[in-house]
Structure 1
């Protein structure tokens, strides 16, 4: 017997842009809402690039990832959803009318509907396959770029040739002392515009090349230099460095979806097959953001917001077929009347 207080109208798995906006919008629709995230903080993958400037969110002037997270989370908490962090969901199943979400901790969460907003899944950086490399992760071997200032006036090597690697290279190029980019192929797999931006700054590219080994400092705590090997010629070369950045991409962990007894229909093993209204192949189960696949999908943060609104609206109608198809716009929504009065009063007092 499920305690009524433990049963939610909607539970959102994932706390990135899609999850945060789902939590906000479900509050607009007066749904009892819970949001669960594996990470210690809401914000999702945006935490990977806190200092990157984000231009492509409608009506939001360019902001850093860190500022966007702050605004997304503030909006998500508007209607006081229950927030559960550091919780990894490992199983999703359904009784006649209730979804049961089992966490790695053993705790179970109960919900009438579920919105999957897990992006690409639990992301783990693909690590460099060099024996003993992990000991440098606490000093000068990095798998994400959290702060550009950390690399100011440093000699830096970036390994990788995809969009993330070149994005990071473009970001740190104006502040570093020297920049080397190491790529195992002969061509970079990234947007041409990013390569054009990179070419505006001094740097050296090493193609058909990999890192063969590290040479450490005398106390064995830091990398002092890297030994490169050209895979075509076998020639080795050494570069003295201050920091190494590895950008080989991320492993995507989605086992709780792939192995669910619900047999959720997927596309290419990594995406939930859905509709433009965010419906999945399972009644009552919806998806939003990068995890959702349908014809015409917009893979931008603004697309995640649209998915979230559609998912919430479909969840609301699943629970109550007689409910309106969508929430009233905020300028006419009764849920904002008191909040608007407070904001206007604050505006007049400080004007």
Structure 2
């Protein structure tokens, strides 16, 4: 039997924080586990903001997202789940025995007894700046993500956008840039209240009810000035810049997943308090799901993952306990604890 024909207890679609923590918890419950990730890297949306400082994960000191992601990946691999990268799942068929066959765009088949959807908002594409010719500057000083703060040291930076990432970038960049201007077409920001307040109290020049309307270049290779326009009065202002960062969110596409029969709206699938979708045997976690107690933080994603995995376990083994033993009492950690003690 080849790998694609091998039957798994649970297959997790998505290799972001939700999928990785689900895999860790699945190992605690001794389930044969596979993760299938459409991208070539694990990490999901966290890959978009590696420099962001994450404060709100319980028991973890504030650290850069890239470092936190390293820990999440390491934890997710604790029990060595099978990992399939660069494989987009496009089809799902239930067999007569109740198991599922998942079909990838490549034609590969994956057999599983249960499925946990941890695919976030589907395939992600950054929303580009809708100005003709803007793409020519992507090789010079037009950015859609911040990979390294040092890139902007001593520069005049303009940020277009008003979501979490735009606010977080502004708060980080004021520490290294010569100046930071934030341009947002609305008068309110979508970031966490404390972070928005911090940005407004910083040295950042915050221009609400404005939008970028034109890019100007003296050499045709990099942006030297930006025109911003007031969305109501249409008054225009020209600003000198060294770098432009655009955070207009993402366009997402669930693709054929929408045709599987899920009860879902534009962004999320509706699940029960046990993370059950309306399709028996398929559960959800993370950004893919919506429920009345949903917490839109990484910390909330971990809770979704635990509940989804426990529900999958009981679905497969109705006599199983409803949750795993805590790590200090879990037999699967006895040998691992010995290894840690040797190296401590």
Task: Name the TM-score class by shorter chain.
Answer: over 0.9
2:61 maps to 61
Q: How far 1:94 moved relative to its partner?
A: 2.1
Matches of 2:186 and 2:307, distance apart in 1: 41
Spell out the pairing of 1:198-209 with structure 2 (5 A cutoff). Answer: 198-209=199-210
The answer as to 2:317 corresponding to 1:316 is no
The answer as to 2:334 corresponding to 1:333 is no
Range with greater deviation from structure 2 (67-76 or 113-122)? 113-122
CA contact (8 A) 1:92 1:256 kept: no
Q: How far 1:3 moved relative to its partner?
A: 7.7
The answer as to 2:110 corresponding to 1:137 is no
Aligned pair partner of 2:269 in 272, 292, 301: 272
Q: 1:101 to 1:131 in 2, by over 3 A?
A: same
Range with greater deviation from structure 2 (63-72 or 194-203)? 194-203
Q: How far 1:23 moved relative to its partner?
A: 0.6
| Cα shift readout 1:226-248 (whole Å, capped 9, x = no counterpart) | 12233433333322211111111
* 2:294 counterpart SS class: coil
Q: 1:54 to 1:3 in 2, by over 3 A?
A: closer
Q: How far 1:191 moved relative to its partner?
A: 4.1
Supply the RMSD in Å over aligned alpha carbons.
2.0
CA contact (8 A) 2:4 2:110 kept: no
2:110 maps to 109
Unaligned runs of 5+ in 2: none
* 1:307 counterpart SS class: helix
Spell out the pairing of 1:1-351 with structure 2 (5 A cutoff). Answer: 6-96=6-96, 97-218=98-219, 220-260=220-260, 263-266=261-264, 268-347=265-344
Matches of 2:3 and 2:70, distance apart in 1: 34
Unaligned runs of 5+ in 1: none
* 1:100 counterpart SS class: strand
Q: How far 1:5 moved relative to its partner?
A: 5.0
Q: 1:221 to 1:265 in 2, by over 3 A?
A: same
Range with greater deviation from structure 2 (70-79 or 322-331)? 322-331
| Cα shift readout 1:226-274 (whole Å, capped 9, x = no counterpart) | 12233433333322211111111111211232122xx1111x3221111
CA contact (8 A) 1:174 1:201 kept: no
CA contact (8 A) 1:14 1:36 kept: yes
CA contact (8 A) 2:49 2:165 kept: no
Q: How far 1:189 moved relative to its partner?
A: 4.3
CA contact (8 A) 1:13 1:36 kept: yes
Q: How far 1:158 moved relative to its partner?
A: 0.7
Q: How far 1:225 moved relative to its partner?
A: 1.7
Q: Which consecutive segments of 4 or more residues in structure 1 shift more than 6 A?
A: 1-4
Matches of 2:165 and 2:69, distance apart in 1: 19
How many aligned positions are there? 343
* 1:137 counterpart SS class: helix
Matches of 1:94 and 1:340, distance apart in 2: 40
* 2:114 counterpart SS class: strand
Q: How far 1:196 moved relative to its partner?
A: 2.0
Matches of 2:279 and 2:35, distance apart in 1: 20
